[in-house]
Amino acid sequence: MNKFICFILIIISLSSCSEYQKALKSEDLALKSKTANDLYEKGKYTKALRLYEQIIPAYRGKPQAERLFYMFSKSYYNTKQYYLAGYQFESFASSYPKSEKREEAAFLGAECFYRLSPRYSLDQIDTEKALSKLQKFIDTYPDSEYLPKANEYVKELREKLEKKAFEIAKQYYTISDHRLEYNAALKALDNFISDYPGTPFKEEALFLKFSTAYKLAINSVEYKKEDRLNLAKTMYNSFIKFNAESQFKPKADTMLATIDKELQQFSK
């Protein structure tokens, strides 16, 4: 019985392949369209795509075009060809403003750019583009059923940009070992805190800012040392004010003790 079932399945598979090959070579648009749609419904999106690519130009402006264009776009999406899918979904939403699929196409088009966003350590041009597309969708469809997902994507992408910006600022701190580099690190950390006031990295950024000011003060020329020690102490207070129970507090307290000891020489 098992052998018989396998035999039947092989026959069906060969027949299906034969129909697909026949449609590929055929000049009959109706046959190509039907075969493509059948393959799409069966989840065979790669094969369906080859047929859609052949017939889509010929169907533009015809009544069947809207459905075919949507399935064509969705096939790119389902095969994870997100650049092409994003472009096609945007084109669909623009070409069929009254379509019941327009809102979904607009969302999926924006989602494609979200999926193209790379990890934070790489260039974030696609992340910026994804944020722009998602924000446009949110503004256009404020009551959409896809709104929660769109907002979730926006939050994730913004956090990725924050992580990227923080790592850049942190790198200034990591490589700093003389006065000019300390000042560059302070500026980078200042800019980060200013640009992302609600960032989850604020605590560490404030600690790094204090630590940089500490290094600058300790290694300062004598006539500037007192002012820089006091500035570092001010930054310590800002850090502690933000979170008095910070994981970085023990290190900060050790540095503060050194600052206070250094300041004693100026009070004599």
| Each residue's pLDDT tens digit, 168-184 | 999 999 988 777 789 99
Residue 147 in contact with residue 181, Cβ under 8 Å?
A: no
Per the domain annotation, does 17 fall within a domain? no
pLDDT of residue 27: 85
Instruction: Give the pLDDT of residue 103.
Output: 97
- Alpha carbon distances (Å) from 199 to 206, 238, 250, 252: 11, 16, 23, 21
**Are 140 and 93 contacting, i.e. CB atoms less than 8 angstroms apart?**
no
Q: Is residue 223 part of a domain?
A: yes
Provide the domain limits for residue 264: 176-268
In the chain, the amino acid numbered 171 is: Q
Report yes or no on 221 lying in a domain.
Answer: yes
DSSP readout, 221-259?
-HHHHHHHHHHHHHHHHHHHHH-TT-TTHHHHHHHHHHH
For residues 12 and 153, give the distance between their C-alpha atoms in angstroms, rounded to a whole number.
Answer: 42
Neighbours of 47 (CB within 10 A): 21
Count how many domains the chain has: 1
Please give the pLDDT value at position 15.
46
Residue 138 lies in a domain: no
Q: Is 128 exposed, middle or buried (0-12, 13-18, 19+ CB in 10 A)?
A: middle
Q: Is residue 29 part of a domain?
A: no
Is position 35 within any domain?
Answer: no
Check residue 268 and give its pLDDT.
66
User: What CATH number has the domain bearing residue 248?
Assistant: 1.25.40.10
Could you say which residues of the chain have pLDDT below 70?
1-17, 268
- Is 134 part of any domain? no
Q: Does residue 219 belong to any structural domain of this protein?
A: yes
Q: What is the pLDDT of residues 21-55, one digit of tens each?
A: 888 888 888 899 999 999 999 999 999 999 999 99
Tokens of 98: 């009254």
pLDDT at 176: 83
Contacts (Cβ under 8 Å, ≥6 apart) of 90: 105, 106, 109
